[in-house]
Amino acid sequence: MSAQQPHILLITADELRKDALSCYGNEAVRTTQLDQFAQMSVQFARAYSTSPWCLPSRCAILTGQLPHNSGAYSNFRKCELSTGIPNLFQVLKQGGYKTSVHGKCHFSPVPYGQTRRDVTLPYEEFRDYYMSLGIDHLDLQDDKQVSVWFYDDYAKELDEAGYLAAYRDDTWNRGKAKVFPFPGPEEWHPDSWVGRKAVEFIEQHDEDQPLFCWVSFSGPHYPFDPPASYFDRVDMSKDKPRAQKEGEFDDPLRIHHRSYHGDGRGIADGSGPAPGHAQKNYTEAYWHDLRQSYYANVALIDDQIGRILESARRKWGDNVLIIFTADHGEMLGNHGLWGKGDCGYEDVLNVPLLVQYPGEQDGRKTDAKVMLTDIMATCMKAASVPEVPTDGKDFQEVIDSGGYKYVFSEGEGFFTVSDGRMKYIHVVKAGREHYELFDMEQDPLEFDNVIDRAEYAPALAELRNAANNLFLRKLLA
């Protein structure tokens, strides 16, 4: 182990929209800590998630592999990440690093069908599996709802403090439709707990051993449940109007026809608690409260990130690689939807990304298209460890090359490819097939499906060819 190996701090927020941060233009809430960090970092305008679902995206971050290569492609099927696939924990441990995770893992599908509203179930099997991937230290808070359903580390402590039952009741309460203030003290919110655990671990870690520390906030993923004290941080008079178009989903062939109209339950997450499973039935008052709660949760996470960064710099100085991003975004009422399932929109796939390399202090912005599969390659290069093959490259290498020509996103029955101007989305699910094509220069909010328009045939053929080439590399390997 070289004394010059930098510590690596990876901070992720779950389901965080890029434009929920003031450094990316939000005016309804100020994310002061991340704004300051952005001024010292590479700020990416076109960083792309590899999946609109948590598990495939997180496993892509951890392995540097696209879901069809890692086999971890679904939140719902038994397709947990194999311990036989090289991952960041394993590779960095072999290079002399200690590894820690504070917060959400979700590298294995949650058994949603086993959940019960009257009890929180054991979770040791999942914890043991996560540790087997190469984690030395784990403070597990495996999603807000998971901590209600199952006894992860956070749930155990929350129960001992006397707040788990109330949290479970609010989460299961259909009348609240996933929007409510956290029913306990601010310091016991899941994101406060994760931040506290991360700071405590960084403070006590032996600085002579390089550390790979993944701080994984489960917010602002729903339920939209900030402590009530954070509502004052949000000025909804400065919130942007929701992006909508009348009649957008009237065509049953549109991917989110069911999610919006309720003709059978759609896959977008907000369809479950919606009246009649139709998201068009949510009221404006509901959307106001949902967005306000989301932004308030973002403010809480921003505060915690400030504490983590302060601790890391006090402990390590500038000998640290810091990466901040999100596994995917959230529709947040745009197109009349909330959630992310089957969403190929920029709202979900174009995520925030801030990267500060060791020793660098000068911030800069880039429009180069990168993907979250680049995180593993970036970490391996910074750590000077023997690199394993991935689907990504070091971020700086991608920037120097001008960015990727195409970016891809995948999940169960879902695929999308974009060249930055055109985007093709293909969904095959439950006996249904959907094909959508968007011209993001002429239609930046992605309202109009132009797949049947003759003038777009060459662009469609190009994107489908890019998809074929991507999958053939796996098929013919």
- CA trace torsion 293, 295, 301, 306 (10° rounding): -140
Strand order through the sheet with 422-429 = 407-411, 414-418, 422-429, 432-439
Region 428-442 average pLDDT? 94
Measured distance CA(445)–CA(425) in Å, rounded: 15
The model carries a pTM of 0.97
Structure confidence by residue, pLDDT tens digits, 325-368 = 999 999 999 999 999 999 999 999 999 999 999 999 999 999 99
Mean pLDDT is lowest, of 67-76, 127-136, 156-165, for: 67-76
Task: Return mean pLDDT, the chain.
Answer: 96
Q: What is the pLDDT of residue 3?
A: 54
Q: How far is CA 475 from the centre of its chain?
A: 28
Residue 4: pLDDT band by 50, 70, 90 thresholds? confident
Q: DSSP states of 156-194 as a string?
A: HHHHHHT-HHHHHHHHH-GGGTTB---SS-GGGSHHHHH
- CA trace torsion 104, 61, 292, 27 (10° rounding): 140
pLDDT at 476 over 80: no
Of residues 361 and 242, more confidence is placed in 242
Q: For residue 59, which phi and psi values (nearest 5 degrees)? A: -70, -30
Residue 208: pLDDT band by 50, 70, 90 thresholds? confident
Measured distance CA(394)–CA(213) in Å, rounded: 19
What would the two tokens of residue 108 be?
Answer: 């294995």
pLDDT at 2 over 60: no
Region 134-162 average pLDDT? 98
Structure confidence by residue, pLDDT tens digits, 374-422 = 999 999 999 999 999 999 999 999 999 999 999 999 999 999 999 999 9
Q: What is the pLDDT of residue 78?
A: 84
